[in-house]
Structure 1
Amino acid sequence: MSRPVKRPSADHKQIAEALRQQPHVWLRVGDYRNHLSADNVARRIRRGYPIGDRAYGTPYQPTGAYEARLERIADGTRVHARYTGGAE
């Protein structure tokens, strides 16, 4: 059995900037093999929590300015997000 191909890590700073440039447009954040990992990333985007090391911070600020959703794909779960332009 062969090993699964390693997926590239999402550059969340770049993704957040692209989302701010296109308000209300859903863009792909990344694909995750594990549904729980994808759900965790989506929750952190919606709540503006840090992603990864706390020193890295979070580009998804202010809290509530981004929405995120999950999509089942053949080999995992895809996270999509959009910038709504302000906190709820």
Structure 2
Amino acid sequence: MSRLARRPRADHRHTAEEARRRPGTWVTVGEYRNTTSAQDLASRISSGYPIGNPVYGTPYWPAGDFESRTSRTEDGTLLEARYTGGGVASSDTNDAAWADAVASLSGGTV
């Protein structure tokens, strides 16, 4: 029985720096065999929660400055992150979506 090839470890510090240099651009964090692992890391990136040992903190700081997404691949799950600089890029979209949702619940008035 052959073993699966070892994948390179994600360099989160490098990924966060690269994303900051290219705001709004999706940067590859890594590809994970386990979807749950990729989704857990995606959540940690977006929330600014420490990765690994809490003593070391997270390079994806401050909380809310990064977005993350996962997508299935042939070999697992791809994890990507992008720097939004405090969520400016996504907050406008979220504000509009919330305003529409509230308007529809309240009969069209906000």
Q: Same fold (TM over 0.5)?
A: yes
The residue type equivalent to 2:73 in the other structure is: I
- Write 1 or 2 for the structure with the bigger share of helix: 2
* Residue 9 (structure 1) aligns with: 9
Q: Which runs of 5+ in 2 are unaligned?
A: 92-110
Deviations 1:12-62 (A, max 9, x none): 011100000000000100010000000000000000000011122100011
2:78 is the alignment partner of 1:78: yes
- Please list every run of at least 4 consecutive aligned residues from structure 1 whose deviation after the TM superposition is greater than 4 angstroms: none
- Write 1 or 2 for the structure with the bigger share of strand: 1
1:29-40 counterparts in 2 under 5 A?
29-40=29-40
Q: Distance in 1 between matches of 2:50 and 2:57?
A: 5
SS of 1:49 mapped into structure 2: coil
Q: Which runs of 5+ in 1 are unaligned?
A: none
Kindly tell me the number of residue pairs found equivalent between the two proteins: 88
Q: Distance in 1 between matches of 2:36 and 2:43?
A: 10
Question: Which of 1 and 2 has greater Rg?
Answer: 2
Q: Distance in 1 between matches of 2:35 and 2:53?
A: 21
TM-score, reference length from structure 1: 0.95
TM-score, reference length from structure 2: 0.77
Q: Identify which of structures 1 and 2 has the higher relative contact order when contacts are C-alpha pairs closer than 8 Å and 6+ apart.
A: 1
